[in-house]
Chain A
């Protein structure tokens, strides 16, 4: 059985809950994508840019000092932070920009939370000579001022969204409204495995290069598959990207880490599997933080990239079928993980990726030294230095 099915369903999750105005664009995108993914010229072009522009394959690095310090399983880091622009987001942005060129759409729009996807989209727009507008919640613009300036340096227009919680969710709504209005000339480069079909499938496919590489690399390094994979889950594109190639390997445990914010019991978090139930937001049926009436809850995380009320529908499917486990770590635990990785390995992780490291700090010590974990280091932490200083009460 193909996942998703031809209606974009991962079991009961996914689908296409959008205004009619967008339906023809989604159907066209699906058709072009299905045709293009089998096109050898497209695949060669994508491979070329991933290698020579993004810098793939990214290393799978054995974190020896971190492993010793935690005293359990061997820890490997998949270094997506070494991609051009500093995060895995560009794997998807390149793929979608190539599709936009094929559909002859001269304008790209995107939403961004942490700013990494916005930077990636602005980057490929510059490289391909496309017009670019990025929507970003004003709260996130404040948290990620550096990335806002980077996008502007790359020639993109950054438009602040001052509605709702002024974060990722509101930026997506505004991008969808723009797309609804300008659909004839514009391609919406959605940044995570969210939204209406075919986005969750297509973005998974573009990100699955992470897991394909990691699988080969760990077989070369260890001569066997890992015992577990760990990745942070906002929308969940870096996690799906790492997991996808390993899904048939039933002995490999898949662990997604959500943002626990100030703690699940505080209500101020973004842990959809801990506090949510299935619903529809921004095009897809999935686990969603909502009240009894179906109004979407405000979320909290120190990490803008995880601060979102819904999760990618394929994660809901993996949760329901028990193929993956989902857990959460708090803001404070993520900050401690940020410090640990910086001091032990000389790598500052993005606060998003620090959530995955924090989970490894809990689980690795309980595992045998012969066991192996791969953690997706989805982005680098330079963008978060100011935020980390704020959390530590340091004035720069």
Chain B
């Protein structure tokens, strides 16, 4: 089922030297290169299988072409407690198209014949648990996944994943929030690999970002505990938001605003074009002056 032709060429290699070698984690490689250039990472989220896995693969290549530095692929789950209505609906569409974690890994494996852009999965814990923690880590890295975000698994509960993930070379990326105490910041920052995911608002995905000073302040506090890059997500919806967040963090994560466009254009033939145009506008806003 995955033998269709991919329609996009990867981004030209001259703006991003391809020094990546197979023994490196793509996420580390990309983030350190961006840092060296003084640029910020644009991390774009889409739901795998929304509207189909074929279109997900086309979207990943388009996101890269449009300027995304890291792809975050959502794994559709029946009960996504950390997500707002936009991503909940995307998960329902993903489940309706019959998408499973196994099929997503096959899709990523197929994508790896065309791109080496870092890919992280965002999956709820029960999907990983049902797959088997150790088997998942091995197969994910083998397919070409670089990191894992589990929104309902704080590091306190990550025991069964820690050993297998470290052995396989899969980054476990943890979240911090505006409600996090100093003790939680120290602990979570230390546990998080690849990047630390700072949740910019007290709430669920897709809410509105309005306290950029608070974000700046919290990112600075997190940086005291770790040299790992800090990326900011939840509530980054416009090029202006992206620019403001890029100013205070190492990476900008955009999810619901992209997923909303996937929902609107999933059936009208303009999916790739509309998502690409939006991501280009985000990337343009993030360029250093």
Contacts and interface: CB of A to CB of B under 8 A. Distances in A.
Interface of A: 7, 15-25, 163-164, 169-170, 173, 176-177, 180-184, 279-283, 288, 290, 292-296
A215 B288 CA distance: 72
Contacts, number: 114
Contacts of B151: 19
B8 interface: no
A294 B133 CA distance: 12
Contact of B78 (A21, A164, A182): A164
A229 to B, nearest CB: 31
A176 B179 CA distance: 15
Nearest to A294: B130
Contact of B152 (A17, A163, A170, A293): A17
Given A24-B181, A25-B179, A181-B202, A281 B79 contact: yes
Given A181-B203, A290-B126, 20 more contacts: A16-B156, A17-B154, A18-B154, A19-B81, A19-B154, A20-B154, A20-B177, A20-B180, A20-B188, A21-B175, A177-B203, A181-B202, A183-B179, A184-B202, A280-B126, A290-B130, A293-B130, A294-B130, A295-B127, A296-B126
Contacts of A279: 126, 129-130
Contacts of B79: 164, 169-170, 173, 281-282, 296
A170 B188 CA distance: 29
B195 interface: no
B127 A294 contact: yes
A20 B204 contact: no
15 contacts: A18-B81, A18-B154, A19-B151, A19-B154, A19-B177, A164-B79, A173-B80, A180-B81, A181-B207, A283-B152, A290-B126, A292-B130, A293-B102, A293-B127, A295-B127
Q: Which 4 A-B pairs have the closest CB atoms?
A: A294-B130, A181-B203, A21-B177, A294-B126
Contacts of B128: 294
B171 to A, nearest CB: 17
Contacts of A21: 175, 177-179, 199, 202-203
A20 B129 contact: no
B95 A16 contact: no
A296 B174 CA distance: 24
A173 to B, nearest CB: 5
Contacts of A164: 78-79
Give the secondary structure class of B's interface. Answer: loop
A19 B156 contact: no
Contacts of B256: none
Interface in B109-163: 124-131, 151-154, 156-157
Contact of B82 (A7, A15, A19, A182): A19
Contacts of B30: none
Interface string B166-196: 0000000011111111001000100000000
B242 interface: no
Contacts of A25: 179
Contacts of B44: none
A24 B202 contact: no
A182 to B, nearest CB: 8
Contacts of B101: 293-294
Contact of A280 (B78, B152, B184): B152
A281 B204 contact: no
Contact of B131 (A16, A22, A183, A294): A294
A24 B180 contact: yes
A15 B130 contact: no
Contact of B203 (A180, A288, A296): A180
A158 to B, nearest CB: 19
B82 A180 contact: yes
Given A164-B78, A279-B126, A280-B126, A19 B157 contact: no
A215 to B, nearest CB: 35
Nearest to B89: A163
A21 B157 CA distance: 15
A181 B126 contact: no
A17 B125 contact: yes
Nearest to A181: B203
B54 interface: no
Interface string B21-45: 0000000000000000000000000
A23 B180 contact: yes
Q: Which interface residue of B100, B130, B207 has the most chain A CB atoms within 10 A?
A: B130
A164 B89 CA distance: 10
Nearest to B76: A295
B153 to A, nearest CB: 6
Contact of B81 (A7, A16, A176, A183): A176
Contacts of B153: 17
Contacts of B239: none
A23 B154 contact: yes
B184 A24 contact: yes
Contacts of A176: 81
A279 B101 CA distance: 16
A272 to B, nearest CB: 14
Contacts of B126: 279-281, 288, 290, 294, 296
Contacts of B178: 21
A20 B78 contact: no
B49 to A, nearest CB: 12
Nearest to A177: B204
B88 interface: yes
Given A293-B127, A294-B127, A20 B81 contact: no
